[in-house]
Structure 1
């Protein structure tokens, strides 16, 4: 994927104008020539015109809407990570290191790393409009809820890199959620799940032996409590694996470079499920 400065923003701004231009012109001509009925017909014709113009804009850019989505997603990821790092006033080495780790996990080449770091630095600027880039992201994501969720998950991890969630960081996360259509209940569920996933992953990387705390985190990774039955457990596991499946996310517009991040999430979900299964199997009475 080639990152080109304000490419995604320019394209989105163009589409936002094209989204309503045809409708307005069609409505005006229709109403003038045919009154209320003409107005309705004019809006319908204008809507068809808008769709045609949208397709032409996508084709002119190259790669269609998926290519644009990937570009804007990439741009927003690092812009908002920069904004998150600066949210509490000071940008720590841990926050800068996380941005670099994400670039490494994405296997970016030197040119892409420079672009990503510039986006990160742009996001740190006092006059950077996070509302604008989030509006652009929401525009290209549309109803792809899984992409909105993984974007928020990445930013949650960025917020927690220093070990705690400050009030300004939480406020920024709420702004992100609002733009992407994630309500407060959904946010809290994701928040608890991601926090548990970070603890669970840290324990797994450190090869710590299984214990009650790890098991509790494993349940929270799946968004569950220990009282759920095996059927609900499997349903939750399959749902999360489906939501985070790398191939499906890339097909929906996740930048291919972010596939490694998606794979890590599915590995954590898989490991959490297996740990719970192992614990439950140990508790079942052996046949006489």
Structure 2
């Protein structure tokens, strides 16, 4: 069964009045976690949009840049987004459930945080409420503060290449190259899929790899 067929099933369950937390609970085993990852991005993205008080077309379109959504499945994704936005449960409830599913500190949770940053910056602005939202998600996910800062730097309008690689300014070339190679390995699409990212979200890996390469090339040029 395709990931979007399962998303449609989840949307139907929500339409029948089932809680999103119950839907996620059924997807806690490894083969189904790809679906849970997708639902988590949609649900937390909806909560984040609510946090800054508005939902823009850019933020909605950002989902299409993270996931390849078949036209026939757009309605199901929209239903999930709206259900999560209206749900009385706070975003921390979802974040904690996802953290338990993948394990605090899991690289998959950093991938999820990366997707949320992508959505937050889609409208060209990074709001204080969004920063607080993402910072709290990182805490719940067990993502180290340094990793959170690195992800935030990668989406800043004026990117500091050292911060994008998570290095102190002026690190020697050998250190920069070793760090770059480690990040490239972790960002390889095959590696990300192996740790639970759905193939439909491979655009996220491609965009991240481009930022890492650009930062490294800038450092080497300097």
Mapping 1:44-193, distance limit 5 Å: 65-102=29-66, 106-125=67-86, 127-142=88-103, 145-192=106-153
Instruction: Give me the TM-score of the superposition, normalised by structure 1.
Output: 0.64
Cα drift, residue 145 of structure 1: 2.4
Larger helix share, 1 or 2: 1
Given that 1:146 and 1:244 are in contact with CA atoms closer than 8 Å, whether structure 2 keeps it comes out as no
Q: Does 1:227 align with 2:191?
A: no
Given that 1:73 and 1:254 are in contact with CA atoms closer than 8 Å, whether structure 2 keeps it comes out as yes
Residue number in structure 2 paired with 1:276: 219
Cα drift, residue 270 of structure 1: 2.0
More divergent stretch after superposition (262-271 vs 122-131): 122-131
Q: 1:107 to 1:156 in 2, by over 3 A?
A: closer
Instruction: Give me the TM-score of the superposition, normalised by structure 2.
Output: 0.81
Q: 1:260 to 1:90 in 2, by over 3 A?
A: closer
Given that 2:65 and 2:203 are in contact with CA atoms closer than 8 Å, whether structure 1 keeps it comes out as no
Q: Measure the CA separation in 2 of the matches of 1:237 and 1:109.
A: 34
How many residues of Structure 1 are paired with residues of Structure 2 in the alignment? 210
Query: Can you give the 5+ residue segments of structure 1 that lack an aligned partner in the other structure?
Result: 15-60, 201-216, 281-288
Q: Deviations over 1:10-64 (max 9, x none)?
A: 36546xxxxxxxxxxxxxxxxxxxxxxxxxxxxxxxxxxxxxxxxxxxxxx8xx9
Residue number in structure 1 paired with 2:192: 249
Q: 1:179 to 1:226 in 2, by over 3 A?
A: closer
Q: Measure the CA separation in 2 of the matches of 1:69 and 1:144.
A: 16
Q: 1:109 to 1:163 in 2, by over 3 A?
A: closer
Tell me which structure has the larger Cα radius of gyration.
Answer: 1
